[in-house]
Structure formats: C-alpha cells, structure tokens
C-alpha cells in the first residue's frame, strides 16, 4: 500500500496492522461521523487482534467497500482460513454500515447524483 491506495489501485478507508500495532484512517474521509470512525477503528483493531496480519477496508472503482487481509510471508501464526471466516462474519454483521459507506463514497467522493443513486436502488 502506498499512501491512500492499495497496490491494485483501490482507495483505502482504514486499516489495522498487527505487526506495527497501528490503526490508519484516510483523512480524505474526515467528514464521516465520529461514531462511524470509532466503529471502524474498533472493528479493524479487533480483527487484527484476533487473527493477526493486516486488515483494510477500501473502495473499488465502483465505490463498493471491500475488506482485504494480508500477512507477512514469514507470519506462521496468521491463519488465512480464520481470516476469511471472520471477514464473512464482519460483512454479514456490518452489512448496513458497508452499504452506507458505499453510498457515502458514491456521493461525496465520486460526486454521483444522490437522486440517481436512490432511483437506481429502487429499480433493483
């Protein structure tokens, strides 16, 4: 990851690194309410405390939030299976949060028309 993007060009919202014991929040998203920022912080840190490695929430080119996890090559304690299961659990439990983050990204970052977004959501 360099700056605010991943190696594959996704825009990083936040992440936690178990190796450095650090949490990162992208300042481009400062307008997100503090309660949401706190929830993201807790979710990220708890994830890396449980399975280790690196945890990121990023946005793809369409504005959909995605979770990425990774580990150092020599980290024998990191369990990809457990990490994958925990990602699915987080996505399920925090579905509404991720939907709201996707809408936020589309309106405030991609500058899409909110009326068009709502219309397209109604058509689904």
Domain-wise residue ranges, the chain: 11-123
Segments of the chain with pLDDT less than 70: 1-3, 124
The pLDDT of residue 77 is 87
CA distance 26 to 33: 13
Where are the extended beta strands (E) located within the chain?
11-17, 22-25, 54-59, 65-70
Residue 81 tokens read as 């299976």
Mean pLDDT, the chain, as a whole number? 92
How many Å from the N-terminal Cα to the C-terminal Cα in the chain? 34
The pLDDT of residue 85 is 96
The pLDDT of residue 2 is 44
pLDDT tens-digit series, residues 59-73: 998 899 999 999 999
The pLDDT of residue 124 is 64
CA distance 1 to 56: 10
């Amino acid at each position: 990851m360099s700056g605010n993007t991943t190696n594959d060009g996704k825009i990083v919202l936040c992440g936690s690194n178990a190796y450095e014991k650090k949490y990162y929040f992208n300042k481009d998203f400062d307008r997100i309410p503090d309660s949401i920022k706190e929830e993201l912080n807790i979710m990220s840190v708890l994830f890396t405390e449980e399975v280790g490695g690196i945890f990121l929430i990023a946005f793809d080119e369409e504005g959909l939030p995605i979770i990425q996890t990774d580990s150092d090559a020599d980290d024998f304690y990191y369990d990809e299976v457990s990490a994958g299961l925990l990602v699915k659990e987080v996505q399920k439990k925090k579905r509404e949060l991720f939907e709201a983050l996707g809408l936020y990204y589309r309106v405030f970052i991609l500058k899409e028309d909110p009326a068009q977004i709502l219309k397209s959501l109604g058509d689904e």
